[in-house]
Amino acid sequence: MAGDTTSRTCDGAWHRPWAARCDGAWHRPWAARRSATHRLDAGDATEVPLITLETLIAAPATVCFELSLSIDVHLKSAAVTHERVVAGRSSGMLRLGERVTWEARHLGRLRRLETEITAYERPHHFRDEQVRGPFRRFVHDHHFETADNGTRMSDVLEFAAYPVVDGLLLAPYLRRFLVQRNESIRRLAEEPR
């Protein structure tokens, strides 16, 4: 499983980052599906980008779940943005109802994002949502399911900040950020114990 770097779209062509892909096809995290859109709510005509990633990890779901909730792992995976915790729990594993305020340099500016763990079903799913920050909407669902020889870790991120830049700038930037984070989790989870 580790080291498998091939990815095909449903038409059989080798993956190109800008190519559309079929739903349900298996892709490596760096071959993430193109962002879709989703409405903010039934009464709102505003569509928001939806990023979906899947990462296959040769480790149990419990290990992947705990690494994904680890503040220490997150900080290491986001070192390039100089991310740090400025309020809330600063190390260890997050739990339901806990809030953390992150500060990092993204797209050339220092930004703060306060998130809360709003759903928690160990070791299958958790959700973090923006409480305060630069987004009009930021909801990130993390799913973990047993797959052949390991775990399928799925991320579903709904976000909205500025309608013009959401799809053009933020979606590709956030997708790359999540792919890098997922690769860090995969490497740590697959380390020999």
Arithmetic mean of pLDDT, 151-174: 87
- Look at residue 161 in the predicted model and tell me its pLDDT: 83
**pLDDT band of 46, cuts 50, 70, 90:** low
The whole-chain average pLDDT of the chain stands at 79
Arithmetic mean of pLDDT, 63-76: 95
Structure confidence by residue, pLDDT tens digits, 175-192: 999 999 999 999 999 988
**pLDDT band of 29, cuts 50, 70, 90:** very low
Handedness of CA 26, 32, 37, 40 (dihedral sign): positive
- Look at residue 10 in the predicted model and tell me its pLDDT: 34
CA 153, chain centre distance (Å) = 10
Quote the CA–CA distance of 68 and 137 in Å, as a whole number. Answer: 21
**pLDDT band of 4, cuts 50, 70, 90:** very low
Arithmetic mean of pLDDT, 66-72: 95
Exposure class string for 96-119: b at 16+ Cβ within 10 A, else e: eebbbbbebebeeeebebbbbbee
| Structural domains for the chain | 49-190 (3.30.530.20)
Structure confidence by residue, pLDDT tens digits, 86-118: 998 999 999 999 999 999 888 788 889 999 999
Question: Whose CA is closest to 175, among 161, 157, 160, 163?
Answer: 157
Does the pLDDT value for residue 131 go beyond 90? yes
- Look at residue 148 in the predicted model and tell me its pLDDT: 85
